[in-house]
């Protein structure tokens, strides 16, 4: 894409985000622990552009080979600032409605942090805590690759929700590779979900904890996420983490 086409794509993404029924989407996250957007956030050309950019070293600040670190198997790369326009727009415009949900959760969870209304204010809070490195990333998996259950906490400031956008089509570009969400509820066995996200669609999910209503009021549930084993093909995902890293 040229700079003009990148700007046009970013404007289209902003319009798609504004067009979402965020009340219904965040209600689903509140009820089920995750929600897949009913419409795509990215068209196929934009998804392909981001996918093809994985090999452009100038876009990224660091690369992680998961296997030696025992994180799973596969490779992911963190973008450097300035972020690609589409990635920056996704992060900027998805943040405010998710901050509203995060603050509703804070009201229900004793001691939970509240968050500012805009991404710029969140990033300023991150900088004050020594967290200055951007965290949006692209993850690429091939046959046999997977991602262990984890949480994405990069410092003192940790926004409790994140967004992952599928850059490849399940069933066409790869098989297996479902998104995994596992909750550990107090005095109960873990609860897991395997979720397939269509090309261009996003899935919103908790990054650390969420409140769940119980017989004696709300209680804090620990949430971890990962990716099941890819059986064939190549799976590529854009991860939008809102807080920055040390």
74 part of a folded domain: yes
Number of domains making up the chain: 1
Q: Calculate the CA dihedral of residues 207, 138, 177, 179 and round it to 10 degrees.
A: 20
Kindly tell me if the per-residue pLDDT of 211 is higher than 70.
yes
225 part of a folded domain: yes
At residue 48, the 3 state secondary structure works out as helix
20 part of a folded domain: yes
CATH of the domain at 178: 2.60.120.620
201 part of a folded domain: yes
Nearest residue to 221 (alpha-carbon basis) of 151, 136, 135: 151
pLDDT, mean of residues 110-114: 91
Nearest residue to 181 (alpha-carbon basis) of 230, 223, 209, 220: 223
> Where residue 187 falls among pLDDT bands split at 50, 70, 90?
confident
Kindly tell me if the per-residue pLDDT of 1 is higher than 70.
no
246 part of a folded domain: no
CB 168 within 8 A of CB 236: yes
pLDDT, mean of residues 142-150: 98
Cα–chain center distance at 85: 17
pTM for the predicted model, two decimal places: 0.96
204 part of a folded domain: yes
pLDDT at residue 151, as a whole number: 97
Kindly tell me if the per-residue pLDDT of 185 is higher than 90.
no
């Amino acid at each position: 894409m040229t700079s003009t086409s990148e700007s046009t794509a970013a404007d289209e993404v902003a319009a798609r985000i504004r067009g979402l029924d965020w009340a219904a989407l965040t209600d689903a996250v509140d009820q089920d622990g995750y929600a897949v957007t009913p419409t795509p956030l990215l068209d196929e050309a934009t998804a392909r552009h981001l996918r093809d950019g994985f090999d452009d070293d100038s876009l990224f600040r660091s690369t992680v080979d998961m296997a030696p670190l025992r994180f799973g198997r596969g490779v992911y790369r963190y973008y450097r600032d300035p972020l690609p326009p589409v990635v920056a727009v996704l992060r900027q415009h998805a943040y405010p409605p998710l901050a509203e949900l995060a603050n509703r959760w804070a009201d229900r969870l004793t001691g939970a942090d509240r968050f500012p209304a805009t991404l710029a204010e969140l990033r300023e809070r991150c900088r004050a805590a020594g967290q200055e490195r951007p965290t949006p990333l692209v993850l690429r998996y091939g046959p046999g690759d997977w991602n262990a259950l984890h949480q994405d906490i990069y410092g003192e400031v940790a926004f409790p929700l994140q967004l992952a956008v599928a850059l490849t089509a399940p069933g066409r570009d790869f098989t297996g590779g479902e998104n995994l969400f596992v909750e550990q509820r107090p005095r109960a066995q873990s609860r897991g979900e395997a979720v397939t996200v269509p090309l261009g669609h996003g899935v919103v999910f908790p990054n650390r904890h969420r409140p769940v209503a119980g017989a004696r009021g709300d209680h804090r549930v620990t949430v971890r996420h990962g990716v099941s084993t890819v059986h064939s093909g190549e799976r590529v995902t854009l991860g939008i983490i809102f807080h920055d890293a040390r």
